[in-house]
Amino acid sequence: MTGRPAEDRELMRELDALSRARGREPGDAPPAAVDAAVLARARAAAGRRRVPAWWIPATLAATVVIAFSLMLRVQEDATTVPAAMEAAGPGEGRAAPAAAAAAPASAEVAGTPPQVAVQAPSAAPPPPEAASSQADVATLRAAPSAKTAAPPPDPEAWLAKIEALEAAGRTEEAAAERERLEAAYPGWLEQRARGRD
Amino acid sequence: MSATETAALPLRAARRSAVARRAHTLMLPTVQDDASEDGQLICRYADGDVAAFERLYEKHRLPLWRFLRRHLREEAATADVFQETWTRVVANADRYRPTAPFGAWLYRIAHHCCVDHWRRSGRTKRREVANDDALAALPDTVARGPAEHAMHAQAAEALHAAVAQLPDEQRAAFLMYAEGGLSLAEIALATDVGLETAKSRLRYAAAKLRLAMTAAGQGDGT
């Protein structure tokens, strides 16, 4: 349109005249059924479009976050419940739960799966610094579980066990157990002896 | 419309205006005036506004129907291609960018739908033959002027027949101008050709129609 405006204007005039000359035919419009079909399709598509574009990725992200936090929670429960159960047993069993708790805890710290970490110490012991840090973590993990889930055994039963050890001639073990009993129930032994008197 | 959708609207508008600015820099035709309103309507529809589509449809349904009817010359095919065109408009509304006026975009889709229809039906394309000698041999002006002949139904009929006889590209270009109201630049965009090619097609079409009108006038004895 920029090169030869006069020619173009002439062409446009002629095209306009030809367009007018063609006239209009009656009923030259889309049938009502076609109009209805087009509009129905447009409405249906707009309905689908109302879901915002960010909806799907946001839903996926939320699902992943929830699933991950659930997995962590389940893993945590799996490590604390056996520790509590074992700690609820008699005296010498207390060290075992702490060690059992230490393996999964160290595995979590190292970012490796728990089942691999349980077997790792026997195959290749960790370096001293790593071991001490793992032990710290294990202590931290085991401490609350022992406090909450392992109350000391009944003193009478404990004392009976001590007396049985003494009777069997295992005096050193009996003395050690007696010390522990005294530590767990301060003054109980003395009170009991006074009561008997 | 939800609050989040409403919040997304300014972002889309900004993106579209950025595209429009870039198009302007490249000297491409941008949306203006009436065409700008169409562009806004299709963008609003892309954001879920059905009323905007209804308005757009009401505005373009008759011209598009007439274009397809004259171009395809089959009643059933016209309905099919008309629906197919609007279906593609609906499906691609969110891809519309104001680098071209809505009219050019709509007729481009319609043009492609026609080509697809002919390909499916196995119709051979009626090719245009660029023959400048033949064009030169045509009379420069209509003997009695097209407006005069339009008074006669026979002349109008002859004109319709002549349009039907035009090669596909020339017929599409002429009908986009006559029925769709597209400008030269828009016809070029809609048919994927350069401005000069579009102009040349219109010139050929006009010359052939002019000749048909003259012949009809002579045959009529007027």
How near does any CA of chain B get to the CA of A58, in Å? Answer: 13
Highest mean pLDDT among A45-49, A113-117, A152-156, B21-25: A152-156
Q: Dihedral of the CA atoms B76, A46, B18, B33 (nearest 10)?
A: 60
Highest mean pLDDT among A68-82, A125-139, B125-139: A68-82
Highest mean pLDDT among B25-34, B78-87, B131-140: B78-87
Per-residue pLDDT band for B152 (boundaries 50, 70, 90) equals low
Residue A50 phi, psi (nearest 5): -65, -20
Residues B89-111: what's their mean pLDDT? 91
Q: Which pLDDT belongs to residue A46?
A: 84
Per-residue pLDDT band for B174 (boundaries 50, 70, 90) equals very high
A2-16, B130-144, B161-175, B196-210, range with the lowest pLDDT: B130-144
How near does any CA of chain A get to the CA of B1, in Å? Answer: 8
Please choose, from the candidates B177, B171, B187, B211, the residue with its C-alpha nearest in 3D space to the C-alpha of residue B71: B171
Tell me: pLDDT of B144 over 60: no
User: Are residues B156 and A25 in contact, defined by beta-carbon separation less than 8 angstroms?
Assistant: no
CB contact under 8 A, B83 and A43: no
Which candidate from B4, B50, B178 shows the least CB-CB separation from A22? Answer: B178
What is the C-alpha separation between B110 and B61, in angstroms, rounded?
12
Per-residue pLDDT band for A197 (boundaries 50, 70, 90) equals low
What is the C-alpha separation between B200 and B191, in angstroms, rounded?
13
CB contact under 8 A, A38 and B159: no
What is the C-alpha separation between B163 and B150, in angstroms, rounded?
15
- Identify all chain B residues contacting A28, using CB atoms and an 8 Å cutoff: 62, 65-66, 69
Per-residue pLDDT tens over the stretch B9-36 = 444 445 444 444 444 333 344 445 566 8
> Please, where are the H alpha helices in A50-127?
55-87, 95-110, 114-123
Q: Which pLDDT belongs to residue A82?
A: 62
User: Are residues A42 and B45 in contact, defined by beta-carbon separation less than 8 angstroms?
Assistant: yes
How near does any CA of chain B get to the CA of A29, in Å? Answer: 6
Say if A128 is an interface residue toward chain B (CB within 8 Å).
no
Q: Which pLDDT belongs to residue B146?
A: 54
CB contact under 8 A, A30 and B61: yes
Q: Dihedral of the CA atoms B165, B170, B174, B175 (nearest 10)?
A: 70
ipTM: 0.71
**Which chain A residue shows the shortest CA-CA distance from B83?**
A38
Element (H, E) at B85: helix B75-91
CB contact under 8 A, B46 and A49: yes
CB contact under 8 A, B57 and A38: yes
Q: Which pLDDT belongs to residue B90?
A: 95
Q: Which pLDDT belongs to residue A148?
A: 52
What is the C-alpha separation between B219 and A158, in angstroms, rounded?
129
How near does any CA of chain B get to the CA of A69, in Å? Answer: 27
Q: Which pLDDT belongs to residue B22?
A: 40
Q: Which pLDDT belongs to residue B141?
A: 45
Mean pLDDT of chain A: 71
- Identify all chain A residues contacting B202, using CB atoms and an 8 Å cutoff: 11, 15
Q: Which pLDDT belongs to residue B169?
A: 93
Q: Which pLDDT belongs to residue B28?
A: 42
Q: Which pLDDT belongs to residue B147?
A: 52
Say if A35 is an interface residue toward chain B (CB within 8 Å).
yes
DSSP string, B114-151: HHHHHHHHTPPP------HHHHHHS-SS-SS-HHHHTT
- Identify all chain B residues contacting A54, using CB atoms and an 8 Å cutoff: 4
- Identify all chain A residues contacting B91, using CB atoms and an 8 Å cutoff: 45
Per-residue pLDDT band for B193 (boundaries 50, 70, 90) equals very high
Per-residue pLDDT tens over the stretch A29-61 = 899 999 999 999 999 988 776 556 677 788 888
What is the C-alpha separation between B162 and B214, in angstroms, rounded?
11
What is the C-alpha separation between B37 and B119, in angstroms, rounded?
34
Element (H, E) at A180: helix A171-184
User: Are residues B98 and B105 in contact, defined by beta-carbon separation less than 8 angstroms?
Assistant: no
Q: Which pLDDT belongs to residue B36?
A: 81
Q: Which pLDDT belongs to residue A154?
A: 86
What is the end-to-end Cα distance of chain B in Å, rounded? 63
Mean pLDDT of chain B: 77
Say if A10 is an interface residue toward chain B (CB within 8 Å).
no
User: Are residues B108 and B29 in contact, defined by beta-carbon separation less than 8 angstroms?
Assistant: no
Tell me: pLDDT of B66 over 60: yes
pTM equals 0.54
Residue A161 phi, psi (nearest 5): -65, -40
Per-residue pLDDT tens over the stretch A60-112 = 888 899 998 898 888 888 777 666 566 555 544 444 444 444 444 444 444 44
- Identify all chain A residues contacting B45, using CB atoms and an 8 Å cutoff: 42, 46
* B215 or A178, which is more confident: A178
Write the DSSP symbol of residue B221.
T
Per-residue pLDDT tens over the stretch A175-196 = 999 999 989 988 888 888 888 7
A126-140, B105-119, B167-181, range with the lowest pLDDT: A126-140
Residue A122 makes CB contacts below 8 A (sequence gap 6+) with none
Which of A22, A39, A55 is the best substitution to test chain B (most B C-beta atoms within 10 A)?
Answer: A22
* A77 or B47, which is more confident: B47
Mark which residues 163-222 of B lie under 8 Å from A by CB.
163, 174, 177-179, 184-185, 195, 199, 202-203, 206, 209-210, 213
**Which chain B residue shows the shortest CA-CA distance from A48?**
B48
